């Protein structure tokens, strides 16, 4: 049992960096698989991944954060996350280089995101936590997608 002073997260790697999303947003973790390609989407949109008969919009999280694309490896995973947005839940598959672990941070040990010195817009970051082996960047998945992008990521909107 965790108390209100702790945040449990799933940590994952993109290149040499370690990121995290709250475990409450993670629906499941899948081995990487090719997606059903959809034309005319943003460059980071890989397509749809089948998950128990449903199509999950899948994105290359590296590209969305402005990092270069890399070919999938045996460690590549798809984090299926529930993103609360505008009174509904958007299910997205985030392709990441590797999933590391489930960690718990004391909320007092989570600092604000830096305004300068990082490659990603600070509004994408919910905070930074310190671990003995380095920093973990907490991602604000809601902020990463604007309202227009969320509309374009809906399966019906993509095909139109």
**How many C-beta atoms lie closer than 10 Å to residue 44's C-beta?**
18
CB-CB contact of 118 with 17 (8 Å): no
Residue 156: pLDDT above 60? no
| Residue among 97, 101, 123, 120 nearest 112 (CA) | 123
Using CA atoms, how far apart are residues 153 and 22, in angstroms rounded to an integer? 22
Q: Of 9-23, 68-82, 135-149, where does mean pLDDT reach its minimum?
A: 135-149
Residue 133 vs residue 8, higher pLDDT: 8
**DSSP class of residue 49?**
E
In this prediction, residue 158 has a pLDDT band, given cuts at 50, 70 and 90, of very low
CB-CB contact of 110 with 7 (8 Å): yes
**DSSP class of residue 113?**
P
Residue 129: pLDDT above 80? yes
pLDDT value of residue 96: 98
Mean pLDDT, range 14-41, rounded to an integer: 93
pLDDT value of residue 130: 87
Residue 71: pLDDT above 60? yes
pLDDT value of residue 157: 45
What integer best gives the mean pLDDT of the chain? 85
pLDDT value of residue 3: 55
pLDDT value of residue 49: 96
- CA of 51: how far to CAs of 14, 91, 138, 139, 152, in Å? 23, 11, 26, 24, 20
In this prediction, residue 143 has a pLDDT band, given cuts at 50, 70 and 90, of confident
Residue 119: pLDDT above 80? no
């Amino acid at each position: 049992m965790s108390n209100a002073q702790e945040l449990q997260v799933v940590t994952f790697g993109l290149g040499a960096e370690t990121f995290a999303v709250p475990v409450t947003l993670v629906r499941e973790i899948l081995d990487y698989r090719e997606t059903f390609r959809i034309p005319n989407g943003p460059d980071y949109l890989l397509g749809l991944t089948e998950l128990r008969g449903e199509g999950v919009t899948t994105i290359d999280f590296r590209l969305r954060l402005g990092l270069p694309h890399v070919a999938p490896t045996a460690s590549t995973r798809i984090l299926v996350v529930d993103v609360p947005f505008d009174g509904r839940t958007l299910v997205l598959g985030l392709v990441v280089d590797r999933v590391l672990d489930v960690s718990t941070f004391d909320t007092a040990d989570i600092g604000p995101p830096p305004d300068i010195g990082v490659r990603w817009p600070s509004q994408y970051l919910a905070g930074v936590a310190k671990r003995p082996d380095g920093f973990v960047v907490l991602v604000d998945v809601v902020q990463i997608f604007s309202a227009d992008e969320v509309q374009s990521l809906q399966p019906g909107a993509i095909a139109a």
